[in-house]
Amino acid sequence: MKIASITCCILFLFSFQNKAQNTNNPSVDGSIKKQNIYQFKVKDLSENVFDFASLKGKKIMIVNTASKCGYTPQYKDLEAIHKKYKDQGFVIIGFPANNFGSQEPGTNQEIETFCKLNYGVTFPMMSKISVKGSDMHKVYQFLTQKSKNGLQDSEVDWNFQKYLINEKGELIKVLKSRVSPTDPEIINWIKG
């Protein structure tokens, strides 16, 4: 009788522990279930709805941008790789943000004008958002939280940080601002 009681208690505790783990973790096997970028709809600089689901099967680079930053000239290289690889299943999505040194103070219209006049930007640019803090946009919550992206926790350290998304809409790499858009690692990934 004692053995049966002990066995019953052990099974109960084991069952309770598994339920607790599954509550904290969306996957049954204990691993973190990857979400994907396709769940999001955002507004572009012209206030039109942009649906990430329209990018299924493409490689995506997401970049938080700013008009008055030391890295702002990266717009030139971003546009160059956009033009070169856009017909090969690659797209860049820019998210203007004013989180660092107030380096993106403009309105959506001012940002759009700046990007077109100074760098000829034709890749999709979204409405200005927050990429960190209590008002962090949901797209950036996905990009920076392992519990959502299944890859890693990260913090947006500065303007022009890059997030690489594979053809399944999954985050696969985070690159710091100083990494040039034409870095061989990025180009090889686009071509690969």
Question: Residue 95: helix, strand or coil by DSSP?
Answer: strand
Statement: residue 23 has pLDDT above 60: no
State pTM to two decimals: 0.84
Q: Among candidates 102, 37, 43, 114, which has minimal Cα distance to 75?
A: 114
Q: Among candidates 59, 68, 55, which has minimal Cα distance to 97?
A: 68
pLDDT band at 18 (very low <50, low <70, confident <90, very high): very low
- 37-191 maps to which CATH number? 3.40.30.10
What pLDDT score does 34 carry?
A: 74
What pLDDT score does 28 carry?
A: 53
Q: Which residues are catalytic?
A: 69
Spatial distance between the Cα atoms of 92 and 75, rounded to a whole number of angstroms? 11
Backbone dihedral angles phi then psi of residue 27, each to the nearest 5 degrees: -105, 140
pLDDT (tens digit per residue) in 78-88: 999 999 999 99
Spatial distance between the Cα atoms of 104 and 81, rounded to a whole number of angstroms? 23
* Domain edges within the chain: 1-32, 37-191
What pLDDT score does 19 carry?
A: 42
Statement: residue 48 has pLDDT above 60: yes
pLDDT (tens digit per residue) in 86-100: 999 999 999 999 999
Q: Where are the alpha helices (DSSP H) in 66-107?
A: 74-85
